[in-house]
Amino acid sequence: MKLYANEISSATSRVRIALALKGLPVQTHAVTILGDDAQNRQADYLRVNPQGLVPALLTDNGVLITQSLAIVEYLDDRFPEPPLLPADPEDRAFSRSVALAIASEIHALLPPRVAAYLRTVPGMDADGVANWNRHWLTEGLTAIETLIAGRRTGQYVAGDAPSVADIFLFPQAVGAQRAGLELGRWPHIAEIVDALGALPAFYANLQVPRR
């Protein structure tokens, strides 16, 4: 398998974590995503992924899969151990809902291409972009904290084994910390992130110091 990836991309981190949890080797092809000459906006990469986004996974059958949730669920279908979705149907749906809340409602407002566009808006400067990011991180994580508080049954988001919810939550929470937000305002998220940070698959793929 070949993974088109970028080191600063939290979406890429989700796939790296899933691969690490399953112990799967992958050939990595680095794709730059910042600057006017970013490779993800160039013709060569657009022929790989017309969206110009990372990650993208080329399977060993030669099939390209885009979007991190689709990639993670493909890996889980193809290599079922350890499972990345709970066995209980309601817990499975909850795990997916948290992952989608992060991917669709938080992360979609924060990537470099959004920041690049915002900087073209009259009156918007770097501080304004940072405030934009903190606003949507705060709103999104506050909602997720409430969802988790009402349903959490184990050490992680949906039980005592990491699931897709945790795979998506961890990079986003680390990103919130880098944006200057304190995770302590969301006690369930903070506790889960602390537990995940002790697992090599998580801390090693975000360059987070081991606790």
pLDDT tens column, 69-112: 999 999 999 999 999 999 999 999 999 999 999 999 999 999 98
Domain assignment present for 30: yes
Residues 39 and 106 in one domain: no
pLDDT for the residue 8: 86
How would residue 205 be classed by pLDDT, with cut points 50, 70 and 90?
A: confident
Which amino acid is it at 132?
Answer: W
pLDDT tens across 168-201, in order? 999 999 999 999 999 999 999 999 999 999 999 9
How would residue 211 be classed by pLDDT, with cut points 50, 70 and 90?
A: very low
CA–CA dist 1, 193 (Å, integer)? 29
pLDDT for the residue 62: 92
- What the block records as the tokens of 112 is 């470099």
Residues 164 and 127 in one domain: yes
pLDDT for the residue 38: 86
pLDDT for the residue 118: 96
Dihedral of the alpha carbons of 174, 176, 177, 183, in degrees to the nearest 10: -100
Total domain count, the chain: 2
Residues 141 and 193 in one domain: yes
Domain assignment present for 210: no
Query: What phi and psi, each to the nearest 5 degrees, are found at residue 94?
Result: -65, -45
Domain assignment present for 94: yes
DSSP 8-state secondary structure symbol assigned to residue 62: S
Give yes or no for a contact between 86 and 92, defined as CB atoms under 8 angstroms apart: yes
The Cα angle at residue 124 between residues 123 and 127, in degrees rounded to 5: 125
Does 209 have pLDDT greater than 80?
A: no
Residues 38 and 131 in one domain: no
Residues 56 and 106 in one domain: no
Q: Which helix (H) or strand (E) holds 31?
A: none
pLDDT for the residue 100: 97
pLDDT tens across 138-170, in order? 999 999 999 999 998 899 999 999 999 999 999
The CATH number for 116's domain is: 1.20.1050.10
pLDDT for the residue 210: 35
Residues 67 and 94 in one domain: no
Residues 11 and 51 in one domain: yes
Residue-range definition of the domain harbouring residue 43: 2-78
How would residue 50 be classed by pLDDT, with cut points 50, 70 and 90?
A: very high
Domain assignment present for 138: yes
Domain assignment present for 32: yes
Residues 160 and 179 in one domain: yes
Residues 113 and 173 in one domain: yes
End residue of a domain, out of 44, 78, 112: 78
